[in-house]
Chain A
Amino acid sequence: MTDSQTPLLSVRNLCVSYGAIKAVQNVSIDVFAGEIVSVIGANGAGKSTLMSAVMGDVRRESGDVFLDGKVLAKKSFQVVTQGLSLAPEGRKVFAPLTVFENLMMGAFPRNDRSGIDDDLKRVFTLFPRLEERREQYAGTLSGGEQQMLAIGRALMSRPRVLLLDEPSLGLAPIIIKEIFRELKLINEQGTTILLVEQNARQALLLSHRAYVLQTGHLIKEGLSADLLRDPDIEAAYLGGGHRKL
């Protein structure tokens, strides 16, 4: 985690636009092996765009993304093969497929049967509710269960970096706690995590380091523990307790 080593995932001067809208401007982010890094920001800050651009789901206008020092491919399916996977915003589970089939979709690029079985067991250990609902259609799961499935599905490719886009979205506080506890465990088991969240408090509590994104620009970065105590952050992102938990 020291700055002397090369970051596992490195985003350099990334810019993304939708027509005239500049959604992400000149953003640089480093994620070191073993870390949890969070990017916090309000609605429309460009968090999802950042994730989509890293995954190759949205065209990168300029800038580079490196994984372990190597340039990341431009198309999603190649990015996944290289070792990234995303649990997208709004979960996006395949509603008409079963829980098991969703997880197998996560393992799509792999052919190592026994490795896939190991990871399936791992996901079921992390989220026992998924195992109980193995043959149930994903569309019939509760929001929390769908989020667990989205995370489990992303883990099934055995990513080197797991990307999470607002895993707390629309969930009850108790479910958020449960999911974030499992995220911590996933990280302790060796998966590096890049998390974007509107729920700044939860994200800062979980992550080691964090970046603050505002209307497409990074305005701050630092240790999460420091940002939690930062008065500006407190006022803008943590204050009042009125914000969505």
Chain B
Amino acid sequence: MGTFIQQIINGLSLGSVYALIAVGYSLVYSILLFSNFAHGGFLVIGGYICYYTLNLMGANIWLAGFAALIGAGFCAVLTERLAYKPIRERTSVTLYLLIASMGMSIVIENLFVIIAGGRFRALPPVIPTAPVDLFGLATTSAFDLLSLAAAVVFLGGLQLFLTRTKWGLAIRAAAYDLRVAGLMGVNVGRLISIVFFVAGLLAAVGGIFLSVRYTLYPQLGAITIKAFVAAVIGGLGSLPGAVVGSLILGLAEMLTAGFLSSQLRDLVVFSLLVITLIVRPSGLFGKDIKEKV
């Protein structure tokens, strides 16, 4: 029983990190209808900014985290401006955006291979990982609880932004019809920048927790594939879907690791994807998908 509860908490913790990544990815998808493969790059950028501000500048985790979030947000906006905007303005074929994003993903990864080198780096122990006793039922780590809490705070913040602010309303409208949002007087270019900033920021939160969990390296962004899978299971473009899909994935992984074998984790993940695509291609919360990747 103890192991079970422990694995559930581990699963939710991992799932919550996936959710931070998947939600931003889904948000971009809902507006521009393409799968942004450079999204993983944003979390790597966040991870390295955090690493360097901690190590070189001796900043505390709050300052380093803040710098990482803002920095990754800006890099996401920059990526959009440099690589996607010129394409968006010339064509409405989203396949070109997809290809450009694959290119940007490689660019970002290699930038860090050059700047930081390919080796694995451990973040200083800035996030507590001490074991925590859960009312005698199970033991878990402070890290798992903290990553869960961080996800709740940031996703809750996103929810408030989307439902309580004018630009949040505009983003929800644009997710339904970007053109018509423009006809309402919304500066579509600025809206897209805001969306990328938010996506980059959330990815950086996920990136910091992943760097602590697994160490940091230029290819860490590849883990975004899990978030993509989660977003597809939940329904591409749906934010609640991305969250639920991520939690399901995190739980499935941790329960598999805990009770079957760690080696089967990824197999289970992709089986879930295949099953979703066969049984319910639009995902749990999905509308009909206009364009699939």
Tell me whether A105 and B173 are in contact in the complex, defined as CB-CB below 8 angstroms, given that A76-B182, A94-B180 are known contacts. yes
Bound: A44/B49 CA distance, A:
55
Q: Is the CB of A108 within 8 A of B170?
A: yes
Bound: A94/B179 CA distance, A:
11
What 1/0 mask marks residues of chain A from 133 to 157 whose CB sits below 8 Å from any chain B CB?
Answer: 0000000000000000000010001
What 1/0 mask marks residues of chain B from 186 to 224 whose CB sits below 8 Å from any chain A CB?
Answer: 111000000000000000000000000000000000000
Tell me whether A109 and B183 are in contact in the complex, defined as CB-CB below 8 angstroms, given that A94-B173, A94-B176, A96-B172 are known contacts. no
Chain A residues proximal to chain B, CB less than 8 Å: 55, 57, 75-77, 80-81, 85-86, 88, 92, 94-97, 101, 104-106, 108-109, 153, 157
Tell me whether A109 and B176 are in contact in the complex, defined as CB-CB below 8 angstroms, given that A97-B169, A104-B169 are known contacts. no
Q: Report A88 CB to chain B, min CB distance, Å.
A: 6
Q: How many A-B residue pairs have CB under 8 A?
A: 61
Q: What are 26 A-B pairs at a CB distance below 8 A?
A: A57-B182, A57-B183, A75-B182, A76-B182, A76-B188, A80-B183, A85-B183, A85-B185, A86-B183, A92-B183, A94-B173, A94-B177, A94-B180, A97-B169, A97-B172, A97-B173, A97-B176, A104-B166, A104-B169, A105-B170, A105-B181, A106-B184, A108-B184, A108-B185, A157-B184, A157-B185
Bound: A109/B188 CA distance, A:
12
Residues of B near A77 (CB, < 8 A) are 182, 185-188
In the complex formed, the residue of B with least CB distance to A153 is B184
Bound: A209/B287 CA distance, A:
44
Residues of A near B183 (CB, < 8 A) are 55, 57, 76, 80, 85-86, 88, 92
Q: Is the CB of A105 within 8 A of B177?
A: no
B contact face: mostly helix, strand, loop, or mixed: helix
Bound: A128/B187 CA distance, A:
31
Bound: A92/B77 CA distance, A:
29
Tell me whether A81 and B177 are in contact in the complex, defined as CB-CB below 8 angstroms, given that A104-B169, A105-B170 are known contacts. no
Bound: A157/B184 CA distance, A:
8
* Cross-interface CB contact of A92 among B166, B172, B177, B187, cutoff 8 Å: B177
In the complex formed, the residue of A with least CB distance to B182 is A76
Q: Report B159 CB to chain A, min CB distance, Å.
A: 15
* Cross-interface CB contact of B185 among A92, A95, A97, A109, cutoff 8 Å: A109
In the complex formed, the residue of B with least CB distance to A150 is B180
Residues of B near A153 (CB, < 8 A) are 184
Bound: A151/B201 CA distance, A:
38
Q: Is the CB of A108 within 8 A of B166?
A: yes
Bound: A208/B172 CA distance, A:
39
Q: Is the CB of A57 within 8 A of B173?
A: no
Which 3 residue pairs of A and B lie closest in terms of their CB atoms, listed nearest first? A80-B185, A109-B185, A76-B182
Q: Report B53 CB to chain A, min CB distance, Å.
A: 37
In the complex formed, the residue of B with least CB distance to A87 is B183
